[in-house]
Structure 1
């Protein structure tokens, strides 16, 4: 459940910005039918920072209800306040989710010791498996391999989503941790190379719109069939890149709507709709990937 293609799911919203239950159910059915390994809700792509605590609970409840055991559910519970992250993580202890993803604290830019103590406190608050999330371009904070190694010694910290795009991190971390510690790519464009170097999968934005293709790519990579995996990846590469031509999840929400997976591409401020120039580029990438 923590390997392969894990989708970083968008949070579908209706015209007035409320969570769209109908589209959420459609998305979950799509991923169940497509072979997605697990669904991550409340990540960056899910517009987590704009959701209330009540909406957090609703998203977990509805996602578990609609998945009905068909696809494991991971929930993002990280914030830049250790106390709040602990509270969120505890909240979902007995909810039915299989694990938590916890981002490095953004804006306050802690030291490496501060990062260690932050994640240690979160892990101590729950029996759920914890996955670290490193995305310095979003947070202004980079958890270094040596700190990852210290945290990997904590029983329920089972892996890391590395979204630096720096492939050297794979070997740097692998040299310091046990073989069962999971390395997951957080960058679709370099995910296949990441897996060839020893990563176990990807937490993917592209999987929102190319779920079958990303699942198959990961299956091929796990089997060591990189010739066919690269054939899939070549077709998807323009999509990997164009889904980030404007801030995530602006392009991928538009793409989901274009494919009929959600009813609207509504975003919450400060996110705004995909520009006309962006629409042309994303539409072409969907066409080139044989999705539209």
Structure 2
């Protein structure tokens, strides 16, 4: 799919509706700042609150703006295998280059259930599938050995790893190397992207690149190109927003940050609500420290 930085794109709202004009402008901002992929309708895009009509329009806008220059990856995962197949098929029909499928949430499948869930999806959809492991949100950790089993399916092309367990990440990378696999591994945590890429990973699917696309993509390109000193400098420079953008549930802080930058309104859909006054100060200070504001 890609090596480098994929932005997990926010969804702008205006008076309760999706602001499609602001979304198009924001996609162009990302492309102008050299990101390598666009990930829409994920957690950062508030996908659980987006209607089917809105999903279709957001995918179309992204595909049109990208115009084949970078892959467009659409979040389609649910806690129903059948529904995920349906949504993934529709995303490919609308021009997606890949789908991001989160580990099923709430129903807490076993490792065998996870293998069968992703296998069923991979068997039935006609395009690349990326596993998204984020146990902090789903309640289930997809273990490295289960991910390795998914090498049985050719169109499972990568994993967004957001378990927060660096040992598991390194173990997964070592097993993939031993199997001579080209399965891509991207960090799902901005503060671990430098470390994952230094261990042999392929990049990051990033929240902070919404606000700092050029610095984030430059950091990852430097790591992948072997310039660890430049990458480390950028990692440390971006460290304040890596923390501040998660001071409340994502995407609450990054939405506020982008409103300060003029890319969207500070508007979310319930059950998400505005960033607290105290944490607005935290975010603003971090943005200044990181040179974003």
| Structure-2-length-normalised TM-score | 0.96
User: 2:10 maps to what in 1?
Assistant: 10
Deviation sequence 1:112-155 (CA, Å, 0-9, x none): 11111111111112121111000000000110111101112210
User: 1:211 maps to what in 2?
Assistant: 213
- Does the aligned pair in 2 maintain the 1:170–1:198 contact within 8 Å? no
- Does the aligned pair in 1 maintain the 2:108–2:139 contact within 8 Å? yes
RMSD: 1.1
Secondary structure of 1:6's counterpart equals strand
Secondary structure of 1:183's counterpart equals strand
- Does the aligned pair in 1 maintain the 2:159–2:185 contact within 8 Å? yes
Q: Distance in 2 between matches of 1:2 and 1:108?
A: 31
Q: CA deviation at 1:284?
A: 0.5
Deviation sequence 1:179-216 (CA, Å, 0-9, x none): 31111100001110110011100000000000000110
- Does the aligned pair in 2 maintain the 1:129–1:158 contact within 8 Å? yes
Which stretches in structure 2 are left out of the alignment for 5+ residues? Answer: none
Q: Distance in 2 between matches of 1:116 and 1:237?
A: 35
User: 2:187 maps to what in 1?
Assistant: 185
- Does the aligned pair in 2 maintain the 1:98–1:128 contact within 8 Å? yes
User: 2:160 maps to what in 1?
Assistant: 161
Which stretches in structure 1 are left out of the alignment for 5+ residues? Answer: none
User: 2:88 maps to what in 1?
Assistant: 89
**Which stretch shows the higher mean deviation, 206-215 or 176-185?**
176-185
The counterpart of 1:222, out of the listed 221, 224, 227, is 224
Secondary structure of 2:201's counterpart equals coil
Q: CA deviation at 1:171?
A: 2.4
- Does the aligned pair in 2 maintain the 1:192–1:233 contact within 8 Å? yes
User: 1:140 maps to what in 2?
Assistant: 139
Q: Distance in 2 between matches of 1:13 and 1:65?
A: 20
Q: CA deviation at 1:93?
A: 2.3
User: 2:68 maps to what in 1?
Assistant: 69
Deviation sequence 1:40-66 (CA, Å, 0-9, x none): 001110001111222211111121123
User: 2:198 maps to what in 1?
Assistant: 196
Secondary structure of 1:175's counterpart equals helix
Q: Distance in 2 between matches of 1:74 and 1:206?
A: 18
User: 1:129 maps to what in 2?
Assistant: 128
Count residues in correspondence: 290
| Structure-1-length-normalised TM-score | 0.97
- Does the aligned pair in 1 maintain the 2:89–2:126 contact within 8 Å? no
User: 2:18 maps to what in 1?
Assistant: 19
Deviation sequence 1:8-41 (CA, Å, 0-9, x none): 0001111x22111111111111111100000000
Q: Distance in 2 between matches of 1:141 and 1:259?
A: 36
Secondary structure of 1:45's counterpart equals coil
Instruction: Considering Cα pairs closer than 8 Å and 6+ residues apart, tell me whether 1 or 2 has the greater RCO.
Output: 1
Q: CA deviation at 1:176?
A: 2.8
Q: Distance in 2 between matches of 1:117 and 1:261?
A: 41
Q: Tell me, yes or no, if structure 1 residue 232 matches structure 2 residue 231.
A: no
